[in-house]
Amino acid sequence: MSVQTLYTAATGMEAMETKLDVIANNLANINTTGFKKGRANFEDLFYRNEVMPGAEDQSGSMTATGTAIGLGTSVSSIQTDFRQGAFLDTSNPLDVTIVGEGFFQAQDTDGTTVYSRAGNFSINANGQLVLGSASVGRLVQGGDITFPEGARDISISSEGRVQYMVDGSTDPQEAGQLELATFINKEGLEKLGENLFRETYSSGSPQTANPGQDGVGFVKSGMLEASNVNPVQELIDLITTQRSFELNSQAVQAGDAILQLVANLRRY
């Protein structure tokens, strides 16, 4: 029935609009530090079963197939691709990238712990290591990594040891130990914006360890992790999404044309 064509094609157009939103967000964050791209997944909707598979024909034999007419599509989920992004050399000792699994931990304004792959750190007026933000001073690991006044030659080892030098001493001083958090289901983390994630029931509880231990990745100072968005692939997806939207709109036009033809036939 042409009326059903209109509704079915409309679900396809709506689904393509959602995919277009995901692609646009990926492209907008192509230069966002530690950004992980999203992917829209789809599922078919209900079916109108006019003949069930295995129904008996006039001779009593069972049919091999049935007659099921689909009623469209919908977005089933938007998954996050957590594959490693490229490494950007900054030569800034407070820029840290994770090589492998894990998230940096920071204290949000409400006291809860948030997680991030963006390791562009800074030092606040109290000498505490914080996330590099111009609006909110989130303390890395709750502020347990601090530097005294006059600290220089800051270094962060691949195992996460944070050290510095002071005048009058030839031995490096310990400022703290970076720990990374891992989750059994990273895709279950809630995205908060500002390169931050939050734990949910779906993600499971975080497991913390020093870098390089218990399956956790190493850290590398003087580098940042770039976005894992592939611009070429996104542009291809953009084109195919646009064409899919156009095809569904043509199905709407075809259904409308048939309805007009039927209406005109009834006049005679």
Q: Provide the 10 A C-beta neighbour count for residue 239.
A: 10
Interval 5-40: pLDDT, tens: 889 999 999 999 999 999 999 999 999 999 999 999
Where are the chain's structural domains?
2-51+65-82+229-265, 87-225
Q: What is the helix (H) or strand (E) element at residue 96, kind and residue range?
A: strand 96-99
CA-based radius of gyration for the chain: 27
Report how far residue 226's alpha carbon sits from residue 85's, in angstroms, rounded to the nearest whole number: 5
**Backbone region of residue 9 per phi and psi (left: phi > 0; alpha: psi in -120 to 50; beta: other values):** alpha
pLDDT digits (tens, 9 = 90+) for 66-107: 888 889 999 999 999 999 999 999 999 999 999 999 999 999
Q: Which residues contact 246 (CB under 8 A, 6 or more apart)?
A: none
The string of pLDDT tens digits covering residues 194-228 is 999 999 999 999 999 999 998 899 999 999 999 99
Q: What is the pLDDT of residue 78?
A: 95
Query: What pLDDT is attached to residue 268?
Result: 59
Give the pTM: 0.87
- The confidence band for 266, taking pLDDT boundaries of 50, 70 and 90, is low
* pLDDT score of 43: 95
Query: Which H or E run includes 238?
Result: helix 231-265
Mean pLDDT of 147-176: 90
